[in-house]
Amino acid sequence: MSFIGKSIQRIDAVSKVNGSAKFIDDYYFDSMLYARIFRAPVPRGRIKNLDLSAAEKLAGIKGIFTAKDIPGANIVPVVEKDQPLLADEVFNFAGEAIAIVVADDPDIAEEGVSLIKLDYEELPSILTIEDSINKTVPDICSKPDNIFSHYKIRKGDFEKGFKSSDISFEEEYKTGYQEHAYLETQGMIAVPNPEKTITVYGSMQCPFYVQEGVSEITGYPLSDVRIIHTTTGGAFGGKEDVPSIIAGFASVPAVILNKPVKMVFDRAEDIMTTSKRHPAWIKFKTGFSKAGKLLAIKVEFYFNAGAYSTLTPIVLWRGLVHAMGPYACDNIHIDAYAVATNTVPCGAFRGFGTPQVIFACETQMDIAAEKLNLSPIDLRQINILKVGDSTGTSHDLDESVGLEKSLHLAADGIDWKNKFIPPSEKTGRKRRGVGISTLFYGVGLGAKGGMLRRAGAFIQVYRDGSVNVAVGTTEMGQGSNTVFAQLTAEALGCSPDNVTILPIDTSRVPDSGPTVASRSTVMTGNAIRNAADQIKHYLLLGASELSGKPEEAIELIDGRVLTAGNELKISFIDVVEHCFNQRYHLTSQGWFKAPSTSWDDDTGLGNAYFIYSFVTNTAEVEVDIETGEVEVLNLVSAEDFGQPINPKMAEGQIEGGVIQGMGYGIMENLYSEKGIFINPGFSTYLIPTTMDVPLVKPIIVNEGYSKGPYKAKGLGECPLMGVAPAITNAIYNATGIRVREIPALPELIIKQKKE
């Protein structure tokens, strides 16, 4: 292998460092117009009258569009079709879009928005999980009892499990919103074409979702809607489903006015009205034998879905599958609910429903270790999944389980043996402690992924030996295009320098599903290998004809042609030229369907995902017990995501994800008053800055997966998920203060200290 496990330079590095990379707001089209949005002022209401007259009179306004103007269906298609693009008659959360204002200048469009007068009747609303469960207002969503989704696991006999337990205990946990805070806000440009087709450019994770969304809104068939991905400035799940909405806001005026329309959100609007990580309320009970064996788990948890279901059903399902943690346990009883409120619809965020349940599960483990008088490492050693074990959903693991290795590497990485000292032995105002968490994570969409569990790739080799690759999953900063160039070069035998990964274009590749769930490397990587194998067949034939050596004796590596380890006088380019002269087909379509999974909704058992990645996080903190301030000193993350394709970029994923996890655990808090976020900016919603970040030690644990491309699994989400409980467990170890709610802000720690 020549390019697998090599830290080659990012293929988009130069354009990003010299300012020439074009993000969506950097595109200008002739006679382009600008859209801004008029929004609902309170959480729930009935529209009585919308007075557009003053806005329409403003010079520069080109049109104002409401629900009745939408040429196709007023639907944002995600899992259900319950969300309109523009509220019609009733609005269900503060900030919901009601009208699109279009002008030849963005400032004029904004002024137009301010001149619209809405006459409305405020309706009773629900703002919290508790009120939604109690149905203080009935029927606020499309499903009965204010419940969008309910999933369950029924494994073994949990009551018997608790009876046979030597210790058992129940705790309650709460987790807050998390805002993605991608540095580039949401944006799209819709460009109408002659013959009633449309091209939409923009910042997104899932071009095929956007294609479906624009098709619904315009009424155009999918074949006439072309989506082109532009350089995307971070996404983290926030650009999974939301871009379909942004594309709708641009496309409605574009097709009606027959002009290009740019819709780029401003920061406050982006924070106030687009998806977030679901807040959660979790009741968690665990039972153990004296020796520390996990005997029973009972969990009931609720996610605040917001006003529409968006991606909530699958976020909830992923939370369910991971709620019991990476432990073998025979008796499990879990109920997971997603409830409606009149707040912003929540959706995908790196980890997708899992960080919430991991926080609860890993705090339980920490409490249990103390009750059992075991070290948190030893308690995990007894219970963690190993090859031959079965997951909480009864998936028998037969390969690629690197959790035990990661447990010990992460413990050693933070010097656990010397630093884990009980809180009772600590004195002084500033106290240090260490904490740990372990997790597993299903790669790809899993058993609920349906028809989306596939990916395509298109490869074309040109006469000069250069190679174009079109893929269906997107680069958003994580480095996937560089990984794809490495995989292509490895599979074809050329240099990655000769490979160009084309901008994603829905007209070039078949629907490859979304770019989510840490699935790109496995899914698109395997599609690329499938495409490359078809071309490689001809390259080997050509090389054999040119050299007179048998095909099976020839190797193509990095543009060189080898036989029995000796380089021949012909090169990759010579072989390509020969193939062209012979009219061999050096263009191919690759395809990959995800390995099989299974699921039973009644029991909640099955092979939920085709493979799992594994992580252990350790943290060292210093807590000021007078102020409650927490300084994170060290974070270690030991991760098994199979073979790393580009280790330096993988480390970058770990370092960045771990810091997002730290933000989730102790810094990032959205405050809301009467259902409206009151801190929609970076001076009030605090994400980690250069001043906040500790030393991060990334450790790569490589337990290869036989069906992954060159034994790779998935990695993108792994780094974030377990950091919060590693930190809060470290806070306990430092102070004896148990954190059951995140973000663990200083005021919360002081409050807990008093209790």
Span from 222-230, 485-493, 496-504, 676-684 in contact with other proteins (CB under 8 A): 676-684
83-112 residues near other proteins, rule: CB under 8 A: 107
616-655 residues near other proteins, rule: CB under 8 A: 648-649, 651-652, 655
Give which of 754, 707, 752, 711 is closest to 732, Cα–Cα: 752
Helix (H, G, I), strand (E, B), or coil: what is residue 110?
helix
Span from 12-20, 193-201, 255-263, 351-359 in contact with other proteins (CB under 8 A): 12-20
- The 3 state secondary structure assigned to 687-735 is CCCCCCCCEEEEEECCCCCCCCHHHECCCCCHHHHCHHHHHHHHHHHHH
Query: C-beta of 491: minimal distance to other proteins in Å?
Result: 24
Nearer to other proteins among residue 14 and residue 54 (C-beta):
14
Burial per residue of 420-447, b for 16 or more beta-carbon CB atoms within 10 angstroms, e otherwise: beeeeebeeeebbbbbbbbbbbbbbbbb
Nearer to other proteins among residue 16 and residue 508 (C-beta):
16
Q: CA dihedral defined by 20, 21, 25, 28, rounded to 10 degrees? A: 60
376-435 residues near other proteins, rule: CB under 8 A: none
Query: C-beta of 116: minimal distance to other proteins in Å?
Result: 21
AA letter at 574: D
Nearer to other proteins among residue 236 and residue 303 (C-beta):
236
Query: C-beta of 268: minimal distance to other proteins in Å?
Result: 8
Nearer to other proteins among residue 153 and residue 264 (C-beta):
264
Nearer to other proteins among residue 479 and residue 604 (C-beta):
479
Cis peptide bond N-terminal to 743, omega within 30: yes
Nearer to other proteins among residue 19 and residue 548 (C-beta):
19
Span from 3-11, 46-54, 438-446, 728-736 in contact with other proteins (CB under 8 A): 3-11
Span from 11-19, 113-121, 328-336, 406-414 in contact with other proteins (CB under 8 A): 11-19
Cα distance between residue 76 and residue 335, in whole Å? 28
Burial of 493 (0-12, 13-18, 19+ CB in 10 A): buried
Nearer to other proteins among residue 265 and residue 308 (C-beta):
265
467-506 residues near other proteins, rule: CB under 8 A: 476-479
Query: C-beta of 181: minimal distance to other proteins in Å?
Result: 5
Give which of 220, 392, 382 is closest to 323, Cα–Cα: 392
Span from 120-128, 227-235, 609-617, 728-736 in contact with other proteins (CB under 8 A): 227-235
Query: C-beta of 43: minimal distance to other proteins in Å?
Result: 25
Q: For other proteins, which residue of 545, 672, 682, 738 counts as binding (CB under 8 A)?
A: 682
Nearer to other proteins among residue 105 and residue 600 (C-beta):
105
Q: For other proteins, which residue of 132, 232, 394, 520 counts as binding (CB under 8 A)?
A: 232
Query: C-beta of 651: minimal distance to other proteins in Å?
Result: 7
Q: Contact at 8 Å (CB) between 645 and 483?
A: yes
Q: For other proteins, which residue of 131, 266, 624, 629 counts as binding (CB under 8 A)?
A: 266
592 lies in the binding site for other proteins (CB under 8 A): no
Query: C-beta of 557: minimal distance to other proteins in Å?
Result: 25
Task: Please compute, for residue 222, the number of CA atoms within 13 A of its CA located in the half-sphere on the CB side.
Answer: 12
Nearer to other proteins among residue 224 and residue 266 (C-beta):
266
Nearer to other proteins among residue 107 and residue 172 (C-beta):
107
**Which residues neighbour 475 within 8 Å (Cβ) at sequence distance 6 or greater?**
12, 229, 231, 232, 481, 501
Number of amino acids touching other proteins (CB under 8 A): 57
- How many beta carbons lie within 10 A of that of residue 223, not counting itself? 11
Helix (H, G, I), strand (E, B), or coil: what is residue 440?
strand
Tell me the per-residue interface mask from 106 to 145 with other proteins, x by CB under 8 A, - otherwise.
-x--------------------------------------
**Which residues neighbour 167 within 8 Å (Cβ) at sequence distance 6 or greater?**
287, 288, 290, 368, 371, 372
14-53 residues near other proteins, rule: CB under 8 A: 14-23, 25-26, 28
Nearer to other proteins among residue 433 and residue 657 (C-beta):
657
DSSP state at residue 658: H
Q: For other proteins, which residue of 129, 658, 670, 699 counts as binding (CB under 8 A)?
A: 658
Q: Rounded to the nearest 5 degrees, what angle is found at the Cα of 668, between the Cα atoms of 86 and 339?
A: 50
Task: Please compute, for residue 290, the number of CA atoms within 13 A of its CA located in the half-sphere on the CB side.
Answer: 0
* Tokens standing for residue 85: 């693009």
Q: Contact at 8 Å (CB) between 318 and 354?
A: yes
Nearer to other proteins among residue 427 and residue 689 (C-beta):
689
Query: C-beta of 204: minimal distance to other proteins in Å?
Result: 13
Cα distance between residue 158 and residue 443, in whole Å? 28
Chain position carrying tokens 């019609």: 88
DSSP state at residue 80: S
Nearer to other proteins among residue 325 and residue 479 (C-beta):
479
DSSP line for 289-358: -TT--EEEEEEEEEEEEESS-TTHHHHHHHHHHHTT-SB--S-EEEEEEEEE-SSPPP---TTTTHHHHH
Q: For other proteins, which residue of 383, 660, 702, 752 counts as binding (CB under 8 A)?
A: 660
Q: Contact at 8 Å (CB) between 509 and 457?
A: yes
Span from 146-154, 233-241, 276-284, 285-293 in contact with other proteins (CB under 8 A): 233-241
Tell me the per-residue interface mask from 177 to 206 with other proteins, x by CB under 8 A, - otherwise.
---xxxxxx---------------------
Query: C-beta of 26: minimal distance to other proteins in Å?
Result: 4
Query: C-beta of 238: minimal distance to other proteins in Å?
Result: 10
Nearer to other proteins among residue 355 and residue 456 (C-beta):
355
Cα distance between residue 744 and residue 621, in whole Å? 13
* Tokens standing for residue 520: 């790109």
Burial per residue of 670-694, b for 16 or more beta-carbon CB atoms within 10 angstroms, e otherwise: bebeebbbebbeeeebbbbeeeeeb
656 lies in the binding site for other proteins (CB under 8 A): yes
Tell me the per-residue interface mask from 683 to 712 with other proteins, x by CB under 8 A, - otherwise.
x---xxxxx-x-xx----------------
176 lies in the binding site for other proteins (CB under 8 A): no
Query: C-beta of 183: minimal distance to other proteins in Å?
Result: 4
**Which residues neighbour 216 within 8 Å (Cβ) at sequence distance 6 or greater?**
72, 73, 75, 76, 77
DSSP bridge partners of 461: 467
Query: C-beta of 655: minimal distance to other proteins in Å?
Result: 4
Positions touching other proteins (CB under 8 A) are: 7, 9-10, 12-23, 25-26, 28, 107, 180-185, 231-234, 236, 266-267, 476-479, 648-649, 651-652, 655-660, 681-683, 687-691, 693, 695-696
